[in-house]
Amino acid sequence: MSRVYNFSAGPSCLPEEVLKECAAEMMDYNGSGQSVMEMSHRSKVYQEIIDHAEAQVRKLMKVPENYKVLFLQGGGSTQFAMVAQNLGIHTHKAAYIKTGVWAKKAAAEAKKLGIEVTEIASSEDKNFSYIPRVEKIEGDYDYAYICFNNTIMGTHYEYIPDTGKIPLVADISSCVLSEELDVSKFGLLFAGAQKNLAPAGVTLVIIREDLITETPLPGTTTMNTYKTHADNGSMYNTPPCYTIYVLGKVLDWIEKKGGAAGIHKLNVEKANYLYDYLDKSDFYHATAEKGSRSLMNVPFLTKYSNHAADDEAAAAKEKEINDKFVKESTAAGLVNLKGHRLVGGMRASIYNAMPLDGVKALVAFMEKFAKENA
């Protein structure tokens, strides 16, 4: 079977060049006579692999010297707790902007740990279809928290809130290295790797050194303390060795594409191609509002969704047409296009590794499907 175009929200497609390199080195990495999957993380050869990955993160994201780069486990969901446990230690107060599922879950986790969470803005009134504008955040908060790109809802921050001396924390899981980002404006950034960086299994954390505390919230475990990992070069325990190895190769691929700026240019071209078609279509429409649209995740509905909320027949027709779209697109080699249940319809995740040809193939299919089902 030939390769499909994979529009999954995560784990997502990886660059074919990287997959081929990994396959070629599977049995023997760099003359070591072993796979990276089986070598000791304490070996000299693996130390070179993780050092290279960190160096590439620092170079491509222009990480300032006073920040630590960590490779952790547990995904973004573990970071919901770690952020609160390690940063919410002075006033025990934090400001959250609620723009979707992941920001809601992060706030709920902080509340469980005794943090007084203030929801300073929300877009829940329109099913999280836009990013509220909060230019400045003030108060005696230990930190402020945002989800920079919302995978499910297909929204993205077009600005960075000014938080002054309040450390700004951002979940950048679904947009990391899809664009240039000024790391110095954040106290902490984290990203699950399985969308733009690597297979699932490693979480990238970039944290300003003054936020690494020896005294997190009482009861915080050793593994949930940033200092544990910062002091041990991300090797307090066995790290996700193979995933970090692949991450390093993906970063090399990004560098060849012109770094974050070069990748961003390609991503804008892909997203514009899809959004332009959606905005002109009488059959489909994008769910995210202009000015808040993600370059990475594009949810869209058909015309049958317009009356589905208050009409049983329309709802049944919408489900029928969505199921048909997913089935036929899969048969056409365009996979994982089913939308999230909270939005419905379809969703095309067009991360860094998705080529423009994949987006063009999707639009060609959508056009054909619309004509056949109008």
Choose the catalytic residue: 102, 142, 253, 338: 102
Choose the catalytic residue: 195, 249, 270, 338: 195
* Three-class secondary structure assignment of the chain: CCCCEECCCCCCCCCHHHHHHHHHCCCCCCCCCCCCCCCCCCCHHHHHHHHHHHHHHHHHHCCCCCEEEEEECCHHHHHHHHHHHHHCCCCCEEEEEECCHHHHHHHHHHHHCCCEEEEEEECHHHCCCCCCCCCECCCCCCEEEEECEECCCCEECCCCCECCCCCEEEECCCCCCCCCCCHHHCCEEEEECCCCCCCCCCEEEEEEHHHCCCCCCCCCCHHHCHHHHHHCCCCCCCCCHHHHHHHHHHHHHHHHCCHHHHHHHHHHHHHHHHHHHHHHCCCEEECCCCCCECCCEEEEEEHHHCCCCCCHHHHHHHHHHHHHHHHHHHHCCEECCECCCCCCCEEEECCCCCCHHHHHHHHHHHHHHHHHHC
Residue 171 is a catalytic residue: yes
Choose the catalytic residue: 68, 98, 142, 171: 171
Active site residues: 102, 171, 195
